[in-house]
Amino acid sequence: MHRSHQRAMNLHNRARRGRHHRAAPRPLDQNSSSIETPLQAGHGEFLMKLAIGNPPTSFMAIVDTASDLIWTPCSPCTLCPDLPSTVFDPQGSASYSKLPCSSPSCSGLPHVCDPLSDGCQYIYRYGDQSTTSGYLSSETFTLGSASFENIGFGCGTMNWGFHEGAGLVGLNRGRLSLISQLGASVGYQFSYCLSGLEGGSSGSSRLVFGPSSALTSSSVGAIKLPLLINSRNPDFYFVDLEGISVGGRRLPIEASTFQFKQGALVVSEVKQAFITAIGLPVAAGPTAAGSGLCFQGFVDPSSIPTLTLHFSSGDFCAPQENYFIVEKDSRLSCLAINETPMGMSIIGAFMQQNVHIHYDLGNNLITFTPAQCDQL
């Protein structure tokens, strides 16, 4: 999930760092077949509710499938100008502890050792230059009615560049991500269904850890794909996108073009296909769509071509609202497909709206199922 441009730059920066500290996730003692939490839509991202400590302190955090670190602002918070009032106080929790520099978790992030306490001081920078730093620590986390002990997280005492939520929850394959740490207790599975990205509504979207009974791989329109492992970026999720059709016509793009750092070529072909199909004047100057492709005036939805993503295991026909923005009160109608700063091909949160997406990390599978998320 998370904002598309920020995610692309984060992926690029993490790839350049070449992290090789990945380890098998650690099973937890407590069994929980399914844990559900509502997601709240923000400005281009989603936030989940969780609690930390004993007694627990609740907060809302950004959910990000492109990063691993879980963190929240901690007192004394010496630089937290953009964060809300929720700040975790480690001294008020009976289950809090700092992780020593010898901890395996400490080797997974840029860090220095505090000579006085042997504490692992981390610094984590995202692609948009937002940053969190503090101490890698261990705490009890509560999701819904289930609690999990000894979860590693960043206790951030200096955090800047964040405008929503009180921290972030990483959900990639990395050692420190929440799904890796929950491990066998949730079957290495999680799923989400996103709706209302622009509406800021609460409760219509949700995140589930563990098997989800609402939808299965046999549901109508489901596509089950292998999750590919990229040796250069083993923590990230990759799928085998092979082609794109616009208006029922397959674009002349070689499958190899969808590989790492080739995304700009793909977007160029898609944009040209929409220009040809719609036939209206293209708006000049900066736009809010990200792709830079907007049309002057109102575009009749019936004239907007279909968009289909072709995978080795099947085709995904994207809902129109997932790739085209028609503002009835605006003079612009825009293609909602971004050219990422580093040229990667990314299926972002906007494209994932009203699709139930299930990750089965134990079997390296991901399932896309069309769904009306606010009705599940």
pLDDT in tens, 109-163: 888 888 788 899 999 988 778 899 999 999 999 998 899 999 999 999 999 888 8
Phi-psi region of 250 (alpha: psi -120 to 50; beta: other; left: phi over 0): beta
pLDDT of residue 41: 85
Coil, strand or helix: which one is 164? coil
pLDDT at 167 over 80: yes
Question: Residue 369 CB: number of other CB atoms within 10 A?
Answer: 22
Q: Report pLDDT for 6.
A: 44
Q: How far apart are CA 17 and CA 347, in angstroms?
A: 23
pLDDT at 50 over 60: yes
Q: Which of 263, 275, 276, 282 is nearest to 346 (CA)?
A: 263
Q: Using alpha carbons only, what angle is made at residue 232 by residues 226 and 234, rounded to the nearest 5 degrees? A: 50
How many other CB atoms sit within 10 Å of the CB of residue 19? 17
CATH fit for domain 4-209, picks 1.10.10.10, 2.40.70.10, 3.90.700.10, 3.30.470.10: 2.40.70.10
Q: What is the pLDDT of residue 249?
A: 97
For position 182, what pLDDT does the model report? Answer: 94
Asked, colleague to colleague, whether 4-209 and 223-375 share their fold, the answer is yes
Q: Domain map of the chain by residue range? A: 4-209, 223-375
Identify the CA nearest to 334 among candidates 262, 268, 286.
Answer: 286
Mean pLDDT of the chain: 83
What is the distance in angstroms between the CA of the first residue and the CA of the last residue of the chain? 19
Question: Which residue shows structure tokens 């503090």?
Answer: 134
Residue type, 326: V
CATH 2.40.70.10 correct for 223-375? yes
Distance of CA 286 to the CA centre of its chain: 26
The closest alpha carbon to 322, from 190, 195, 221, 204, belongs to 195
Q: Which of 2-6, 15-19, 109-113, 278-282 has the highest mean pLDDT?
A: 278-282
pLDDT band at 27 (very low <50, low <70, confident <90, very high): very low
pLDDT of residue 216: 59
CA atoms within 13 Å, Cβ hemisphere of 280: 18
pTM: 0.86
Confidence grade of residue 232 (pLDDT, cut at 50, 70, 90): confident
Per the DSSP assignment, residues forming a β-bridge with 132 are 124, 159
- Distance between CA 203 and CA 221 in Å, rounded? 24
64 has catalytic annotation: yes
**Mean pLDDT in residue range 302-328:** 91
In contact, 210 and 59? CB cutoff 8 Å = no
Q: Tell me the CA distances in angstroms from 189 to 47, 81, 134, 204, 354, one per residue in order.
A: 19, 35, 29, 21, 19
Q: Which helix (H) or strand (E) holds 178?
A: helix 178-182
Among 29, 64, 68, 114, the one annotated catalytic: 64
In order of 129, 130, 144, the CA distances from 136 in angstroms are: 20, 18, 24
* Cα–Cα distance for residue pair 223/241, rounded to 1 Å: 12
Least confident of 34-38, 91-95, 116-120, 324-328: 324-328
The average pLDDT across 168-194 equals: 93
pLDDT of res. 217: 56
What pLDDT, on a 0 to 100 scale, did the predictor assign at position 89?
A: 94
Q: For residue 324, how far is the Cα from the chain centroid?
A: 21
Question: CA-CA distance, 179 to 202, in Å (whole number)?
Answer: 23
